[in-house]
Amino acid sequence: MSPASAPSALAPGRPWPLGATWDGRGVNFAVASAHAKSLELCLFDADGKFETSRSALPARSHDVWHGYLEGAAPGLVYGYRAHGPWRPDRGNLFNAHKLLLDPYAREIVGRFEWRDEHFGAAPHHVHHPDARDNAAFALKARVVGGTYDWGTDVHLHTPLADSVLYELHVKGFTQLHPDVPEALRGTYAGLASDAAIAHLRRLGITAVSLLPVQQHLDEQRLSRIGLSNYWGYNTIGFFCAEPRLASGVAGLSPRDEFRAMVKRLHQAGIEVILDVVYNHTAESDELGPTLSFRGLDNALYYRLQPQHRSHYENHTGCGNTLDLRQPRVLQLVMDSLRYWAGEMHVDGFRFDLAPVLGRGDHGFEKKAQFFAAVAQDPLLSRLKMIAEPWDIGPGGYQLGAFPQGWLEWNDRFRDTMRSFWVEQGSNRGEFAQRLCASSATFQAQGRTPAESVNYVVSHDGFTLRDLVSYSQKHNLANGENNRDGHDQNHNHNCGVEGPSADPQVNALRGRLQRALLATQLLAQGTPMLAAGDELGHTQSGNNNPYCQDNRLTWIAWDKSDADLLAFTARVLALRRQALPLGNHWYDGLSDSQGRHDLEWLGADAKPLDADAWRAAGAQPLACLIGKPGRAPAPLLWLINGSAGDVEFTLPAGTWQALLDTAHPRGLAQQQGRGENRLAVGARCMLMLASAGSGVTL
């Protein structure tokens, strides 16, 4: 039957599953609201422009309102109106003049534009509801149905010891790629193209970590100045693939184009991990629009200040915070995760501002309901779970405090390695601790080394090239007078701000980039490479380009640094073959033959004493790995973060150089001065293997 002719009479239906579910005969509607007095189902024409009927949901089971529409089918467009008290002082913001989007919508109809009609409070009278109806402009949901032919596709479950993460933006990665068909550039289909996959496979990437692909809105401030939320950390549809990232080629819906992308990446042996935002929604602060959650039950979905329930607890910096203490909100998050894992076949999730997910009444709780729910889930518990382990709320920094099995972005690794190589600031003790997966942080909590996600650059901040090309951030294009973005970046321009023709400046920048990449990709833990860093990608010094959907952020493939790409591929090949530091903790103790599993030495090949560990600056050190992850024979790391060449005395044995970051492509160079002495260039590192290592680079 057509949506326009749908009858208004509703049967009671069922309170589960939440959302709109087609069973072949009709559609069951179920939506959660604890404080509403009644809810109405509103049906629209196929384009969502005209309301054709309005009926009260006839049944309520605890906090779920539900009804069943006989004869309804996929394609039906609908929304809700919630009736209840307008009492901001009690956290209740019901306004039946506002059409509300189903939180469980699988497809969203309409393109959002900022209008006064979307706001629940009357202009200049926040204690009174606004009487203007927004239905003509509101986002609506469309009932979906059907199945997808996955064939033999399954989750890949790549072991952590073999995992290399690659963080990318679906659009920015291929928008300018000359070998991707023009119609597919910047889309899910573009990421699934032969050219895109060939690049990932050349590097040896095992998992792409996609910046948010759940449907989001652009903030009002950005819309006013002609910008958009390029990164996508402003979700409105937790079950919807962002349509702006779909090509529409072959007539596929955004959902099915996403699925086809996942299937194609899996065929290439590459996992798909989603960056997800379950800490806040696009409805912003208490002055924001009424689009969905706020109108359905503000006091249920959001954390409100106990003494001022008209205001939100803002642990996210985005205006509101979802309240996962509430069972229905926890269910929303879990159902969304299961949808993306089960129906979309993604292999894991990276959780933005993850401490929010574990916040109870008195702060972060390692045993919070959310973590317990994930741990017992038969599907989710087998996937990769990655936390950004901080938010801006009280006690928001929680690195190392997440449950066993969770991976965590390790910003201490980032800051120490930047400081050591770029600023010559971190000492040997700090450097060694980060090189070995921040053992004081993770080992003490019963965690494994691979649970430290080691990165030097992510989407948030300078690119690798810009990190060594700019001493100041250049964010004026964002419209905030350069106030936004991090101020403490451990960055330096190497003598010239921005692009330079000086060969000495560029040589130093190249050495620093290679040293940072090699340290990151070979360190103990799980490495994460930011897309484009292997190509010399620049954002012209903008360290917060969240709103720049243009050539500033899109990877310029025609300007790729071929040497840097070859270097990165070589380093990752070395990781695959040797895995210098395995996924087990080293204790520095010796075996029955007096061989240590890990030794730290000075340039003179003598063990470091306490004073040497604490000596200021990037002092030279050597790391002798007696029990590497894969190589059967010892490996030796020679690390020189100082401004001049350093001559190292080698431990006894025959050594073969595998990697030299002084060379643009990492090729080993002959620098020997006698059989047991080797010079290491300034701001460079070498990796060597003893005879019988089996490494064949």
Q: Which stretch of DSSP H or E encloses residue 429?
A: helix 428-435
Q: Give catalytic status of residue 313 as yes or no.
A: no
Question: Quick check: helix, strand or coil at residue 254?
Answer: helix
Q: Which stretch of DSSP H or E encloses residue 222?
A: helix 220-224
- Alpha-carbon span 339 to 341, nearest angstrom: 5
- List all residues 6 or more positions away from 220 whose beta carbon is below 8 Å from its beta carbon: 114, 284
Tell me the H-state helices in 436-540.
439-442, 464-467, 503-522
Question: Quick check: helix, strand or coil at residue 631?
Answer: coil
- Give me 124's structure tokens: 């200049």
**Which amino acid makes up residue 649?**
T
- Other Cβ atoms within 10 Å of 178 Cβ, number: 9
DSSP per position, 513-551: HHHHHHHHHHSBSEEEEETTGGGT---TT-S--TT--ST
- Other Cβ atoms within 10 Å of 202 Cβ, number: 14
Closest CA to 532 of 552, 504, 509: 552
- Alpha-carbon span 622 to 604, nearest angstrom: 9
- List all residues 6 or more positions away from 317 whose beta carbon is below 8 Å from its beta carbon: 392
Contact yes or no for 81/99 (Cβ under 8 A): yes
Q: Give catalytic status of residue 352 as yes or no.
A: yes
- Other Cβ atoms within 10 Å of 691 Cβ, number: 10
CA 563 to chain centre: 28
Q: Which stretch of DSSP H or E encloses residue 214?
A: strand 214-216
Contact yes or no for 553/461 (Cβ under 8 A): no
Contact yes or no for 434/412 (Cβ under 8 A): yes
Q: Is the peptide bond before 17 cis (omega within 30 degrees of 0)?
A: yes
- Give me 133's structure tokens: 């109806």
- Give me 148's structure tokens: 């997808």
What does R_g of the chain's alpha carbons equal in angstroms? 27
Contact yes or no for 491/422 (Cβ under 8 A): yes
Tell me the H-state helices in 225-292.
254-267
- Give me 490's structure tokens: 């451990």
Closest CA to 97 of 85, 110, 83, 111: 83
Q: Given 275, 352, 466, 561, which residue is catalytic?
A: 352
Alpha carbon distance, N-terminus to C-terminus of the chain: 65
Count of residues making up the chain: 697
Contact yes or no for 230/459 (Cβ under 8 A): no
Question: Quick check: helix, strand or coil at residue 453?
Answer: strand
- Give me 115's structure tokens: 């209008």
- Alpha-carbon span 605 to 636, nearest angstrom: 11
Contact yes or no for 436/449 (Cβ under 8 A): yes
- List all residues 6 or more positions away from 592 whose beta carbon is below 8 Å from its beta carbon: none
Q: Given 130, 297, 388, 466, which residue is catalytic?
A: 388
- Other Cβ atoms within 10 Å of 8 Cβ, number: 12
- List all residues 6 or more positions away from 457 whose beta carbon is below 8 Å from its beta carbon: 414, 463, 464, 467, 530, 533
- Other Cβ atoms within 10 Å of 551 Cβ, number: 13
Catalytic residues: 352, 388
